[in-house]
Amino acid sequence: MFYHVQNLINPIVADEPDPSAANALQEGLGGQFGEMRTMMQYLFQSFNFRGQAKPYLDLIQGIGIEEISHVELISKTISRLLDGAPEYKGKKFDVPGKDGDPVMDMAKEQMNPHHFIVGAQGSMPVDAAGNPWSGSYVHCNGNLVLDLLDNLVLESTGRLQKCRIYQMSENKTLRATVAFLIARDEAHEMAFAKALESLGVDWGKVLPIPKFDSSQYPEVKKLIDAGVNREQYHFRLDGSLMEKLYSGSAPANDGTELTTLKEPRESYEIPDAPERPEEFSPGLDPELQDLVDAFNELKEKNGKKAKGRNGR
């Protein structure tokens, strides 16, 4: 059974809108090796887990739970990168495009026009080429060694693609999220490699994949310095056996150590997304807005909610 806190696992950093950066990042969300796949693959593997090797179950499922928060983070990041592109000069309750004014003329030439036609400048469950996510991406073989190896390939491919995306834009909104995911994918590579190490494999020097010094990316360096690439969270309110596997020396064989925590040391406020009248989102006219306002008495309450908080 699942629970939620309306905070993010990493902060959204503000920068200009950049629709093609948003589109590249879709690969990390809805691509064949993106976060929707990791989330679904690990959840299906854990729901279908057979036998008594519970620490392996808790490891796979714990990472799966984290991936839901990654889907949340990357969705928010894409939305933020799209938000305000194209920029609409009209005000709330104005009719966008009235008198023939083409307020979204650039939108039809963006990488994925669905971001503006189908969604309201928001994320979608598709990849960077516009293909919808498919259930066929999920591998759940039921054989423990094979599932662990498949998961290692999945994390490695995800990390490779994110290292490529990192280089495609200096946009700070994109980079903050991508850097975090590079560090976390490395932590997850360690997890599945460590589980295989427990079954006798010695990885020598091939890890992480791709093999390079990601601390030369400034945004990644800060996270590595904080140990983010060598710790894993179980997000379990009722305890977890994850630590039996995720501890001791890292299978990268670089002298680092692995640490299991219940949850990340910090969480972060979710920025509000403004109304976009040109997208009719949320698209309430004054009559309907009055109903919402009266019903919810929201006017006086806005802005008070949703402080960053982690104590439970």
- Which residues ranging from 197 to 236 are in contact with its own copies (CB under 8 A)? 198-206, 209-214, 216-219, 235-236
Q: Which is nearer to its own copies, 230 or 241 (CB)?
A: 241
For 60, phi then psi, to 5°, come to: -60, -45
C-beta closer to its own copies: residue 128 or 230? 128
146's tokens = 């094979």
**113 vs 227, beta carbon nearer its own copies:** 113
Instruction: Name the residue nearer to its own copies (CB basis): 57 or 230.
Output: 57
173 binds its own copies (CB under 8 A): no
Site string for its own copies, 92-131 (x = CB under 8 A): ---xxxxxxxxxxx-xxx-xxxx-xxxxxxxxxxxxxxxx
- Total residues at the site for its own copies (CB under 8 A)? 161
Instruction: In angstroms, give the least distance from the CB of 257 to its own copies.
Output: 17
The owner of tokens 């592109």 is 85
- 258 in contact with its own copies (CB under 8 A): no
If the CB atoms of residues 226 and 282 are measured against its own copies, the closer one turns out to be 282
Residue 14 sits in the site that holds its own copies (CB under 8 A)? no
**Residue 60 interacts with its own copies (CB under 8 A): yes or no:** no
Question: According to the binding rule CB under 8 A, does residue 141 interact with its own copies?
Answer: yes
Please check whether residue 31 is in contact with residue 161, taking contact to mean a CB–CB distance below 8 angstroms. Answer: yes
Question: 14, 272 in Cβ contact below 8 A?
Answer: no
Q: Taking phi first (over 0 means left), then psi (-120 to 50 degrees means alpha), and beta for anything else, what does residue 35 get?
A: alpha
Among candidates 244, 242, 246, which has minimal Cα distance to 259? 246
274 binds its own copies (CB under 8 A): yes
Residue 269 sits in the site that holds its own copies (CB under 8 A): no
Cα 78 to Cα 181: distance, rounded to the nearest angstrom:
14
Q: Does 261 bind its own copies (CB under 8 A)?
A: no
What is the SS3 string spanning 56-120?
HHHHHHHHHHHHHHHHHHHHHHHHHHHCCCCCCCCCCCCCCCHHHCCCCCCHHHCCCCHHHHCCC
Candidates 14, 143, 249, 265; binder of its own copies (CB under 8 A) is: 143
